[in-house]
Every structure is written in structure tokens, then in C-alpha cells.
Structure 1
């Protein structure tokens, strides 16, 4: 038995999709453990280019079981649309399962999301407006609906009436639209009928896989610097994207984790508001954005780009007990004559090697940089580590040294085969 978790090491968009797609070819089961359709993975394989938002990237392997885990919030309309797109490419859903304990994103969550973001004024977080935060909030308030409710008309009507009453009081105060419970009931009942075959108790499935000694892959969304507890609060997501959340959202105890892979870009990006110490607002930042195609999978928003932040990267490694390091998009740096790595911060004249808790302080830090020579040659066709330019290897090894985690995989392109493996994928599941 081996359980491998894939964790985003920065502010998301690190290329986890291609790594999960690569690893999923060797997994018996893939579990998406957190987040909602506010995140997306781009997967490129022999079937084409796919934008996944809820469905695990293992869906392209017909022998792999794919579970949308308990820690995910599911927008049924978005999920069905995603399934229709994949069905057009002859993707099978025979082994797609949705935890009946996963919570549901409802239309009023999206409206609430937009209203609350407007109320924040200049303090906007940069939410995608997909209703993810309000759905998690209702989960904690104990007025949420779960996928199991969509299969039981009595429970659905009862839970929806209770939630609608509370939501309508909220919307009246903000002159928002009222929730018509009976109309929404019919809509949700129809979703339940269409998804009924996939909504299952996930706990027995996962436990049986563990007992059989199967290879299980835990697929993350967003990233550790967006963690609601440990991220750059309040500019964070509403879930726990790290290793602890992987256990909680999948229903697998922590002692079963065999490997924890942290995925980092060879540089750093961020979408939406929030502090970003190494952000580049110049031609280099523009070059990274265009070469890296740094536009959101879900929203199309341009991403903010900057140098690699080793202070933040080490923080994530420590929080998640990372066992292996994955560096993506190394090829984006190919043309640069000089590459910089942030190795510390200066705050109020004092050198620090940790991330401040307050977003206002992180916004004011001055990054301390180390400069390394670039390699200025094309790495996109390289598949063997020894064949990389010497300066590229030097850069990668310096990142691993600063983070304190050994390198396992380096990607130099978007496709599944554009990878350099220092640790064979089979060994990661050993």
C-alpha cells in the first residue's frame, strides 16, 4: 500500500494537473480532496487539452477509480457540464465517484459570494465568485446541503427550506434576490437524479483500497499559501489545501501517507489580491506571464508573476512535511541571462527568514535576493537530468537546498511526457 499526496507549494497554479496526470497512470485510485470549481487543472495528453475543475485528473486512466472527496464543495451544474465535455472525448465515468458527504454549492452561494466581494470595497480578496467560500461557510454553520441530500427528497426539501429561510434574511438586508425554495428543490432533485449513480459513501471504497494495498493518489487544489489557517490571511481560500487537508478531505489517516510531493513553479505566480514580495511589475514579469501562459484555467485572469520565493517555499515544506520536490515550468526561464531567488526578507530594517503573520507586514518586506547565472538555451526537449545545462542544474539544486527537500520531478513543458524524473514514478509509490 502507498498513498501519495500532491500539494501546491505556492499560491496555486503550479502545474499540479500535469503532475497528477503523470502519477495517475500508476495509481489505482485518485482522490480530489479539497476546493471547488474555483480551481482548475490543465491536462494535456493523447486525447487533447482538457480543463478540469472538479473531476480528478486520473479520469483519463480507465483502470483508475476517481473520487471527488468529502472535503470538496461540488457545484452540480458545473460538474455535469465538465462531464459532458469529457464525454465528447470518449472519457468513461464508470469509475467516477462522488462522496455523499461532500457539500453542495448552490446558486445562492454564488450570489452571496458576489455581494460580499462588493461589500469588501478596496479590501477585495479577488474571489472567483463561484460560491466556494459561502458554501464552506454554510458547512461550518451547519446549514449546508450535502450530495447525499440530493438523493433523498424528504431530507432535501427539509434542509433546503431551513437554509433558504436564513439566506433570505441575509439577502433582504442587502436588497439581494430571494431564494424560492420550491424552484430550487426541483432543480436540485433533477441534479440528484442525473448524478445518482456516482454519489456513494466514499469511506468504504477508500478503506477497501487501503486494505488491498492499492496505490492511492491524493490530488490537491489551490495551494498551501492559500490555506485558511496558514496562508496569507485574509487573502486565502476557504479550505485546507495542504497535507492535513488531504487526510481530512479524503478520509485517510495521516499515518498512511507514504510520500508528500510539493509542486512549485520555477518562479512564482499569484492570482487576485494579497501580498506578493517577489512580484515583478516590469518586462521580466511580462516575459514570465507570456512564456508561461499565466492566465487562470478557471477565470482567464492574468496572473501576477515574480521570482522564486525560497522563504515561502521552505515554510510550505515545513508545514506539510514534504518528502519530495517537483519543479514545473523550468523552460519558461530559458531566455533569462540572470535569475534571482529570494532567500530572506528585510522588515523594519531587520533581516528575517520567516513569513510574517500579518498580510500588511508581508506587503512591506523587502526581498533579499541571490543571483544565479541563467542558461539561455532551450530545455523543452530535455528528458534526462544530466542533459540539462549546467546552470539549470545549479539553479534546481540551489532551490532544493534552500527548501530542504530532494528533487523528484522537473517539468519542461505542458504535456505528460515533458518531464525529467530524478526519482522514478514507480519508486514514489513503492
Structure 2
């Protein structure tokens, strides 16, 4: 079955949104559906073909061209106000948005609880309410738990979007449509397998988990795409260990550039921490996710695309060394927010 699962292999911000958008644009199938799992605690960035930037927290970046169906399955967490704002921002066709009745709603109550929990200080949480919404859902109305849980079928504001998304996805797949599951965050943040608990997010962020949240079968998948970046990041504050932590200024110095490379988080607008490529972590991510496609973004932090033709360049040496240590080829290279290279061909 034509299902692509896009996941991050580090700590998020690897460029999954750009990749999901690229998969949608070059799909051989005429009908494409993008499934957004997770919640509003991470930003997904993509650019239109005329290079207008959209940083989205609810809608998937894979929908920026406004020509795909968008599904929020049972394993999604929805901040209603953010979703409606993004629908308005993109002027997205409302008849192309489908929400499972079992998708959970993030409330002001959840955000307030997180603000009082000090998770933002202790683990670098964005405080978006997703973790509290997960807790409330798992508590199942327990009398001694302080938070309530609401699903989409009981949220009047979303009533026009609610349908049986599992049934709809199955019908689309039976007709040969392409489904792209746009995962959120990265493997190192995964609650179960990432290895950094409690400095983790509130969900599992693997390909298998994304598929489960989407309500689909492992037998549906023909493509697992793992996205990496040359220099991994973590969010600001006490967000957990980061191998070979360095500075943005040092990365620019190594490249021989005086450009300001500093990155800021989409949700909290704080300066990201940055480290060097951690082969051990990525190999663990490869073992758990078993991707058949690897994408490496942010290679412009090491060199330029034309350096790929020079086997003696720092860029070529980095790619060869990385592939050798991972034991797997990198299929696509990214040097900007707009495109990826494969076998000397650029997809725009």
C-alpha cells in the first residue's frame, strides 16, 4: 500500500515538514493525503513554490500547496484556536480537512497545568498543553486526577470536520491514493525508545508509533523516510544531554563563514542548543525505525552543493564518513529550506 512515514532521527527540527511537502509534490499518485500526528508543541515549516514561508503547529507542512487532503487521526492532539488560525492563514479548503472523533482536544486547563508543573524549566517543554492532554486521556476520567479530557466528537467547533478517518483512509488506500504521515519531533525525544527520559516528549516519536496514531497497519507502509541534520539541535534550557555541544559561532568558524547561523525554536522563539553529529544516536534510531530512505538536511552548515562533486571537500568527506559509520547510504541532500538533491537532480 502507498503509505510514507516521515520521522526525525535526532531531536526534531531535522526538516520533516519540508520533506513531507516534497513527497507530496513529487508523488506519482494523483490523490495525496497528509496525516498529522502529535500536537501543537512542535513547529513544521515549509515554503510555497514562490518561497513564502509558513511555520505551522497544527496543519502539516505537507499541505502548504493546498492541494491535498489533511487528516487528524485519533492519535492527534488539537489546539482548536491554533488550528482555526492556520486554516484561515492558508485559506485552506475546509472540505479537505478530516478529524477523527477520537482526536483529543488541548484545553486552557491543560496549558495552565503545564505552566504550574515547571516542565518548561525542568525539561525544556514548550508548555503547549500536549503532555497534559496525553495525561488526561490516559487518566480516563479518574476521580483523583485533576484534568479532564475532551475528544473532537464532543467539540462543537470542530463538528464540520469530524468523520471516521480510519474508514476514509482505508477507502482512499484501496483506490491507490498516497498517504503521507508527517511525524513530529525526533527520535531522541521519544518517550519510550529515545533513551533520554525524562528529558523527553510525552509520546513515542517512531515510525511505528506514528503509524499507530494514524490508525493504519504496518502492512500499508512502503516507505519509511528518516530525516537527519548535519548538526543536531535541542531546545533551550535544561532539555537534556547533547553530544559534542558547541555554538553557532563555532559552526560558522569551521565553515569559514561570518554568517549568523543561529536558530530559534518555532514555538517558544528561544535560541536552540546545537551539537555535533552523533553516530551512536542515529544508529539507534535506524535500528528502531528501519528507514529505507535517509535525508540529510542543513548540509549548508558544512559546504555548498557544488562541493558534492569534489571528493576532497569537507562536505564530501563528511558524507562518506557518515555513511560508512551508519552503514547506510544517504539518499537525499538538503542545502536550503526549499529543496533536496538526489543523484545530481534537484526537486523544486
Q: Name the TM-score class by shorter chain.
A: 0.7 to 0.9
Distance 1:300 1:112 in 2: 21
Match of 1:157 in 2: none
What do the CA deviations read for 1:67-118 (whole angstroms, capped 9, x no partner)? 122211111111112222222xxx4333121222111101110000011116
Matches within 5 A, 1:23-422: 23-27=23-27, 28-33=32-37, 35-46=38-49, 48-87=52-91, 91-117=92-118, 124-143=122-141, 144-150=149-155, 192-193=156-157, 195-231=158-194, 232-272=196-236, 273-281=239-247, 283-284=249-250, 291-334=260-303, 378-379=304-305, 382=306, 386=309, 390-415=313-338, 418-422=339-343
Distance 1:285 1:386 in 2: 22
Distance 1:425 1:74 in 2: 35
Distance 2:166 2:137 in 1: 19
The 1:388/1:261 distance shift into structure 2, 3 A limit, reads: farther
Match of 1:339 in 2: none
What do the CA deviations read for 1:310-341 (whole angstroms, capped 9, x no partner)? 1101110101112121000101223xxxxxxx
User: 1:405, CA displacement in angstroms?
Assistant: 2.5
**Residue ranges of structure 2 left out of the alignment (5+ in a row):** 142-148
What SS class does the counterpart of residue 30 from structure 1 fall into?
strand
What SS class does the counterpart of residue 407 from structure 1 fall into?
coil
What SS class does the counterpart of residue 135 from structure 1 fall into?
helix
The 1:130/1:396 distance shift into structure 2, 3 A limit, reads: same
User: 1:394, CA displacement in angstroms?
Assistant: 2.8
Does the 8 A contact of 1:23 with 1:425 survive in 2? no
Does the 8 A contact of 2:7 with 2:183 survive in 1? yes
User: 1:285, CA displacement in angstroms?
Assistant: 5.0
The 1:282/1:411 distance shift into structure 2, 3 A limit, reads: closer
User: 1:251, CA displacement in angstroms?
Assistant: 0.9
Alignment partner of 1:11 is 2:16 = no
278-287 or 232-241, which deviates more: 278-287
User: 1:401, CA displacement in angstroms?
Assistant: 2.3
Distance 2:84 2:320 in 1: 43
User: 1:386, CA displacement in angstroms?
Assistant: 4.2
User: 1:269, CA displacement in angstroms?
Assistant: 0.8
Does the 8 A contact of 1:56 with 1:68 survive in 2? no
Match of 2:21 in 1: 21
Does the 8 A contact of 1:30 with 1:67 survive in 2? yes
> Quick check: which has more Rg, 1 or 2?
1
Does the 8 A contact of 1:17 with 1:43 survive in 2? yes
Does the 8 A contact of 1:67 with 1:97 survive in 2? yes
Match of 1:342 in 2: none
What SS class does the counterpart of residue 308 from structure 1 fall into?
coil
Does the 8 A contact of 1:5 with 1:243 survive in 2? yes
TM-score normalised per structure 1: 0.71
Aligned residue pairs: how many? 329
Distance 2:182 2:67 in 1: 17
TM-score normalised per structure 2: 0.87
What SS class does the counterpart of residue 108 from structure 1 fall into?
helix
Distance 1:213 1:424 in 2: 27
Distance 2:206 2:344 in 1: 22
Does the 8 A contact of 1:385 with 1:422 survive in 2? no
